[in-house]
Amino acid sequence: MLLLGACAAFAPAPTPEPTFPPRAIRVDYPITPPDVPMLDQDGRPAKLSDFRGRLVLIFFSNIRCRESCVNALPQFQAIKQMLGPRSADLTFVMVGTDRVADGPSALKQHLSRYDPTFVGLTAERSDMRQLALRFGIHMYENRDGVLAPHAPFIYLLDRQGRLLYFVQDGVAIPEIVRIVTRLLDES
């Protein structure tokens, strides 16, 4: 009994949740994601390189997601509104991570509820896994068999198509607009 009591005294305490505020994290050495073949919301072939020359805000999700990724499209709307005419130099992209569940027509219908200029992309599973890996995204099959991301970030690609920022869920819209405006002013 004494031995069991002594072991209990050394049991690890639960680790508290981090209390750091959400941040926009600049990548010290920007990486270029793989240029995997995708389809856009109109069923046309597309690649991330198609957006070179523009800044790109991008997030990974499923159209049925109920986690933090549901915030991204309303955030995109607010960012676009705050940027006004300057938003013309920015592409807003949702990557639907499961070609079956997030096919072109489903993406188009979903995005039309927010803004018809937002771009939807999707890829075959093997290509999606390769793309997600380069963004540091863990992919898993949910209970419905849909390929889903665990990615509570919006990513910002520079004009060369390189990953420049990870924007954590919860970063204030004015902070994201400040970063985008600074990058627009640099080029």
pLDDT mean values, one per 10 residues, the chain (187 residues): 49 57 85 93 96 94 65 91 95 89 90 94 90 82 72 89 91 95 89
Q: For residues 151 and 60, what is the distance between their CA atoms, to the nearest angstrom?
A: 7
Cβ pair 38, 46 in contact under 8 A: yes
Q: Under 8 Å CB-to-CB from 41, ≥6 apart: which residues?
A: 104, 105, 107, 108, 111, 119, 120, 121
Per-residue DSSP letter, 86 = G
Q: What is the pTM of this model?
A: 0.83
Q: For residues 117 and 59, what is the distance between their CA atoms, to the nearest angstrom?
A: 15
Q: For residues 136 and 133, what is the distance between their CA atoms, to the nearest angstrom?
A: 5
| Environment class of 154 (CB within 10 Å of its CB; exposed 0-12, middle 13-18, buried 19+) | buried
* Domains, the chain: 23-94+109-149+166-186 (3.40.30.10)
